[in-house]
Structure 1
Amino acid sequence: MTPTTTDLTIWSSARAMAAAVATKQISARELLDLHLDRIRAVNPRVNAIVSLDEERARDGAAAADEALAQGERVGPLHGLPHAFKDTHEAAGWPTTFGSPLRHDYVSRRDDLVVERIRRAGAVTIGKTNVPEWAAGSHTFNPIFGTTRNPYDLTRSAGGSSGGAAAALASGMVPLADGSDMGGSLRNPASFCNVVGLRPSVGRVPKWPATNYWELTSVSGPMARTVEDLALLLSVVAGPSRRNVMSLDDPGATFAPPLEGRLAGLRVALSTDLGGAFEVDRQVAHVVEQQAAVFESAGAHVEHAHLDVTGAEQAFRTLRAWLFQATYGQMLAKRPDGFKASLADNIRAGEHLTGADVWTAQQRMTSLGERARRFFERYDVLLLPVSQVPPFDADEEYPHAINGRAQETYLDWMRSNFLITVTGCPSISVPAGFTSEGWPVGVQIVAPPKAERRLLEVAHAFEQLTRVGERRPDLDQEPSS
């Protein structure tokens, strides 16, 4: 049954909201007001939404209502308020990239992912906060400050799509877009108890781009449930003549409803990919507990891991190469314009040779072949999303895990970036909480291009656990 206006809340599913707008059970303006009220109540503490423009948002909602009144055909996101990641360019809106070097930059055109979301009827309200140039899995920058975790405002919301995840988790938006190189969709989803998908390269085409053959960075969807995520993926996925790397499957391939079953599924579970990284004991415990969830549904679970030999060297080389090519000239002109960790990462690419990049790409090829063989034996791989639970928001990154030093802002992200260079799609799904009440997600990995199967497995798992239904307590006024 379609919800009435009074039934809908900020916690309703995106699908329910869109259906209610489409059937005129609620207007786009009323739905916007629900979310603007929530933003006013919690965003000053969470700091997830930036560049908010209520006047333009109201104009957009009014236009959405007028289109319905005129009987126009509308898209699947019609009337849903949406804030784009502040690295995704939206025409006419500030896109700062979290950098003081772009403090006053206003985009002149839409990125393709933005174009598709807008065309589906979403109402733009602003942007979501990011780290400087989206570098690092903790969201803070000199322009807007730090995004806080809705479940504990002293902790990190993750990154680089940290503003997106925190906005979702605190009820400020129904859906969110993001991007992922070393975990930027998955890590904040884990930290904020929402769902984030890193799709296969080309599943969500990039345009414009300076290098269509760059294989580490992708755009993708986030949501509070797997079916809502599938809805957004169905909008942003699909082929594009503007990107030669785009995959041919139409976006509708991924649309809900999802009907996944776990019975008979061959599951590999690993907490550290055979010693490839250190993992916090509470995180490892939550991941281990998921074996019982899958087995209770008839899946066959084995402790096994994909061989990721060479993955770290490949990722670090390709990241440094990309960062130096993208930001090297800016760093030379403005050496004081970058945070130190990012400047170091850019400089790490200065002395790379063609042979270094070739070796990294060979390693990725080898990893892809190993992944192909691995997924002939298993349907999915389970492992931690993040090696730690949400850490202190006043720290740039966790400096130790179980007493083992993490020397750089990338070290603690291995559980994500080692999967990046396999080419496999992976999804973060809420799985549990630490004793302190901090969210922990599980990462589910599938063979390349198998997003539909991955969504079905994730949905079936989500229905058994219902961990994502636990909401943060932001309704109490902070103590003075």
Structure 2
Amino acid sequence: MLDACLDRIARYDPSLNALTTFNTERARVEASASTQRWAAGRPCGPLDGVPIGVKDMQDVAGLPTTNGNPLMRGNVAEQDALIVARLRRAGAIVVAKTNVPEFGAGGNSVNPVWGATGNPYDPTRIAGGSSGGSAAALAASFLPLCTGSDTGGSLRLPAALCGVVGYRPSGDVVAHPGRPLGWSVISVLGPMARNMDDLLLMLRAIQGADAGDPLTVPTDPARFDDITPADIGGLRVGYSVDFGDLPVDPDVRVAFQARVKAIAPHVATCEPVDMNLGQMDRCFDILRAESFVAAFDATGEGSVDQFGAHVAANVALGRGLSFRDRAWAHLEQTRILRRFRERTDDFDIILLPTVPVPAFPWRQSYPARIEGQEMDIYYRWLALTYRGSLMGGPAITLPSGAGADGLPFGVQLLGRLQGDRALLSAALSLEALFASMPATRPLTPDLKLTLSAQVDLKSPVTHPPHETGTGQTIQVGSAV
């Protein structure tokens, strides 16, 4: 199996650039040992011998964790991150690291160290981010499982663009002891896979508490072992095409409404829901900037010249925050959570699009305008996903056929806070429903066409050091 993965990677990854550094020699040793265990009838765990990819923001002992930043090329990890250690204990074999935007900032996996990751369906288009390398590697069948992380949509957005499954769990599900702000639920770790069965297999290996993560508490280690598809005829589905007021490309609106129409006859209810829950964009701006200051500018005195434009923009926002801004954001997040809980009294899941625009060329950092509305900072176009992050509950993206451009179209499901089991159960049912209908069946990329495209994705990529988006100042102390 490892040889098959490495052969496919050798043939097609030069055209996609999904993977960065490789662990080939150690992987071959581990695969040989796994073969012997299986022959003896004594596998060490449920993933014994399964090749995986690890996002290049998570440590793998002996491999560099560059975060896509030139100054971190030589940052070789001494030990595995907890999520990687748990996967290894289950028998997984780390084959390679996967590409990201610099420090995970943005929805386009391009950086000055490794270059850009192309979409397996069209390598001139973005694969998404920040877990873009993982999503592309899965879609191209380089590896069966990959890790990801999510603050504003980094698991969900690339999964949708590449036609795979990305799951953002509730903050207590997968321990994240490396989170800079240990009490903040905004950033989580999660699994990515080509389908729900594979994703659940991976989730069972990585879930669980750790003393280094105060958001997690000991729970039943088998809590995800017996998840089965929900009775689709009993599902109560609420939906919103734009989270209440967001700009969404007309083609995306049409494609999403077609999915709603396809689902409606099979579920108990399928009704529009009001998702105007508060000042979600301003709230996220402050919470995100706070987390970037904690990670990159804790003293408030350092230079951000060593970072790219996106990190610098977030640090600049954070430097302008007041204590009142921070207090308001945490109060507003609490109010948003409570309003969302009221919405889910009437619905089991909330259905939304995942990405507001079709995949655009990878040389474009982000879309400057959507439906005529200017994006005032580089991540504003991710609002369909980052608004969902504010509730702290689970969210998942499922592939559902193609959009008008012929590329994968993903739908996003939001669940109740700590309602991960119910959301995963509903996702199993919707996955089966989508697979049963020709218009929504998952796609498979033709990598021979990808190979023939001959796109140069590894050219060095640089951005102005302090670009904040369109050049305007973002005033986070007032409504954005």
Normalising by structure 1, we get a TM-score of 0.90
- Residue in 2 aligned with 1:10? none
- Residue in 2 aligned with 1:383? 352
**For the Cα contact (< 8 Å) 1:53–1:126, is it kept in 2?**
yes
**For the Cα contact (< 8 Å) 1:236–1:251, is it kept in 2?**
no
**For the Cα contact (< 8 Å) 2:5–2:142, is it kept in 1?**
yes
Structure 1 segment 414-453 matched on structure 2, within 5 A: 414-453=383-422
- Residue in 1 aligned with 2:160? 190
Measured against aligned partners, the alpha-carbon deviations of 1:259-301 in whole angstroms (never above 9, x if no partner) come to 22211211111101221x1011111122212223322223311
Of 351, 357, 372 in structure 1, the residue corresponding to residue 320 of structure 2 is 351
For the residue of structure 1 that corresponds to 2:318, the secondary structure is: coil
**Does 1:74 find its partner at 2:47?**
no
**For the Cα contact (< 8 Å) 1:328–1:346, is it kept in 2?**
yes
**For the Cα contact (< 8 Å) 1:224–1:468, is it kept in 2?**
no
Looking at structure 2, the residues matched to 46 and 103 of structure 1 have their Cα atoms a distance apart, in angstroms, of 21
**Does 1:282 find its partner at 2:251?**
yes
TM-superposed deviation, 1:240:
2.5
- Residue in 1 aligned with 2:457? none
TM-superposed deviation, 1:330:
9.6
**Does 1:234 find its partner at 2:204?**
yes
- Residue in 2 aligned with 1:15? none
For the residue of structure 2 that corresponds to 1:348, the secondary structure is: helix
CA 1:155 to 1:256, structure 2 compared with 1: closer, same or farther past 3 Å?
farther
Measured against aligned partners, the alpha-carbon deviations of 1:19-46 in whole angstroms (never above 9, x if no partner) come to xxxxxxxxxxxx0011001101110011
Structure 1 segment 71-470 matched on structure 2, within 5 A: 71-255=41-225, 258-275=228-245, 277-328=246-297, 333-466=302-435, 467=440, 469-470=442-443
**For the Cα contact (< 8 Å) 2:23–2:63, is it kept in 1?**
no
TM-superposed deviation, 1:73:
4.6
Q: How many residues align?
A: 449
Looking at structure 1, the residues matched to 301 and 448 of structure 2 have their Cα atoms a distance apart, in angstroms, of 47
CA 1:408 to 1:337, structure 2 compared with 1: closer, same or farther past 3 Å?
same
For the residue of structure 2 that corresponds to 1:44, the secondary structure is: helix
Looking at structure 2, the residues matched to 37 and 244 of structure 1 have their Cα atoms a distance apart, in angstroms, of 42
- Residue in 2 aligned with 1:478? 452
TM-superposed deviation, 1:248:
3.9
Measured against aligned partners, the alpha-carbon deviations of 1:396-444 in whole angstroms (never above 9, x if no partner) come to 1111213322232111011011111111211011123222212111111
**For the Cα contact (< 8 Å) 2:300–2:319, is it kept in 1?**
no
TM-superposed deviation, 1:347:
1.3
Looking at structure 2, the residues matched to 124 and 152 of structure 1 have their Cα atoms a distance apart, in angstroms, of 27
CA 1:329 to 1:445, structure 2 compared with 1: closer, same or farther past 3 Å?
closer
Measured against aligned partners, the alpha-carbon deviations of 1:215-253 in whole angstroms (never above 9, x if no partner) come to 200000111111211111111112223323114443432
**For the Cα contact (< 8 Å) 1:51–1:127, is it kept in 2?**
yes
Structure 1 alignment gaps of length 5 or more: 1-30
Query: Larger RCO: Structure 1 or Structure 2 (Cα < 8 Å, ≥ 6 residues apart)?
Result: 2
CA 1:255 to 1:46, structure 2 compared with 1: closer, same or farther past 3 Å?
farther
Does 123-132 or 227-236 show the bigger shift? 227-236
Letter in 2 for 1:253: R
Letter in 1 for 2:222: A
TM-superposed deviation, 1:55:
1.6
Letter in 2 for 1:32: L
For the residue of structure 1 that corresponds to 2:350, the secondary structure is: strand
For the residue of structure 2 that corresponds to 1:201, the secondary structure is: coil
TM-superposed deviation, 1:70:
5.1
Does 236-245 or 454-463 show the bigger shift? 236-245
Looking at structure 2, the residues matched to 200 and 437 of structure 1 have their Cα atoms a distance apart, in angstroms, of 32
TM-superposed deviation, 1:479:
5.4
CA 1:55 to 1:330, structure 2 compared with 1: closer, same or farther past 3 Å?
farther
Looking at structure 2, the residues matched to 270 and 403 of structure 1 have their Cα atoms a distance apart, in angstroms, of 20
CA 1:209 to 1:301, structure 2 compared with 1: closer, same or farther past 3 Å?
closer
Of 49, 62, 66 in structure 1, the residue corresponding to residue 19 of structure 2 is 49
Structure 2 alignment gaps of length 5 or more: 455-480
TM-superposed deviation, 1:468:
5.4
Percent of paired sites with the same residue? 38
Letter in 2 for 1:109: Q
**For the Cα contact (< 8 Å) 1:225–1:468, is it kept in 2?**
no
Measured against aligned partners, the alpha-carbon deviations of 1:95-131 in whole angstroms (never above 9, x if no partner) come to 1111112111011122111111111100111100011
Letter in 2 for 1:104: G
CA RMSD for the aligned pairs? 1.8
TM-superposed deviation, 1:194:
0.5
**For the Cα contact (< 8 Å) 2:55–2:134, is it kept in 1?**
yes
Looking at structure 1, the residues matched to 180 and 395 of structure 2 have their Cα atoms a distance apart, in angstroms, of 25
Looking at structure 2, the residues matched to 271 and 247 of structure 1 have their Cα atoms a distance apart, in angstroms, of 35
**For the Cα contact (< 8 Å) 1:231–1:256, is it kept in 2?**
no
Looking at structure 2, the residues matched to 404 and 356 of structure 1 have their Cα atoms a distance apart, in angstroms, of 25
